[in-house]
Chains A and B, each alone.
Chain A
Amino acid sequence: LAKTTQPISMDSYEGQEVNITCSHNNIATNDYITWYQQFPSQGPRFIIQGYKTKVTNEVASLFIPADRKSSTLSLPRVSLSDTAVYYCLVGEGASGGSYIPTFGRGTSLIVHP
């Protein structure tokens, strides 16, 4: 699976928009980009997934440029409850061969009052 690079930590304030960028220079043609959120002592939670352009759901937006070598998770108007670690993963996720996702260390987002 393609390796990803994310900032280790970010700080923000309530009500602001937060953008977390992930680099994945070696992304393959069939790879999707997936983001997870993890609160302390809980299992990660799937947030959003995309292949190209823009994907939006009730939680976040995912922006993927044409070359797909990076992606940006956008959290609108964050609150204190958005303080968590955010992981970017890249992988095909649809074939029947094997699937060994690499979570890495993620980005620790701290939202301040």
Chain B
Amino acid sequence: EAQVTQNPRYLITVTGKKLTVTCSQNMNHEYMSWYRQDPGLGLRQIYYSMNVEVTDKGDVPEGYKVSRKEKRNFPLILESPSPNQTSLYFCASSPKGSYNEQFFGPGTRLTVL
């Protein structure tokens, strides 16, 4: 089944404790991205990757890191999480030539205390 998976789905952590949210897709897509969704603010892009080893900032990259060592994986790293990073996070992927048609993962709900 074609899908985008994220882990964990739910995470409660404390300020300053490094964490990684994994994202994997099995559709051989070139484009992958991370979004956060907050009430009243809609979906905002954090980082994106056009292909392996090619990453760039989206609209709200502060406090986040990403890497794209393999085509299928695109982890989101929070080196020192803060309470303002409490949010619902989505990973997405789309194929080359049709970046508009993104497939989204199920989401990761993160709470930073």
Contacts and interface: CB of A to CB of B under 8 A. Distances in A.
Interface of A: 32, 34, 36, 41-46, 49, 87, 89, 91-94, 96, 98-106
A101 B48 CA distance: 10
B36 to A, nearest CB: 11
A101 B45 contact: yes
Contacts of B40: 105
11 contacts: A32-B100, A34-B100, A41-B109, A43-B107, A44-B43, A44-B102, A93-B98, A96-B96, A101-B100, A103-B35, A103-B44
A89 B43 CA distance: 12
Given A42-B104, A93-B100, 15 more contacts: A32-B100, A41-B109, A42-B107, A43-B104, A43-B105, A43-B106, A44-B92, A91-B100, A93-B101, A98-B48, A98-B56, A99-B50, A99-B99, A103-B42, A106-B42
Q: Which 10 A-B pairs have the closest CB atoms?
A: A43-B104, A93-B100, A103-B43, A93-B99, A34-B100, A105-B42, A99-B99, A43-B90, A46-B101, A94-B97
B50 A34 contact: no
A36 B19 CA distance: 30
Nearest to B42: A105
The majority secondary structure among interface residues of chain A is loop
Contacts of A44: 43, 90, 92, 102, 104
Contacts of A42: 104, 106-107
A94 B42 contact: no
Given A99-B48, A100-B48, A103-B42, A41 B101 contact: no
A77 B90 CA distance: 30
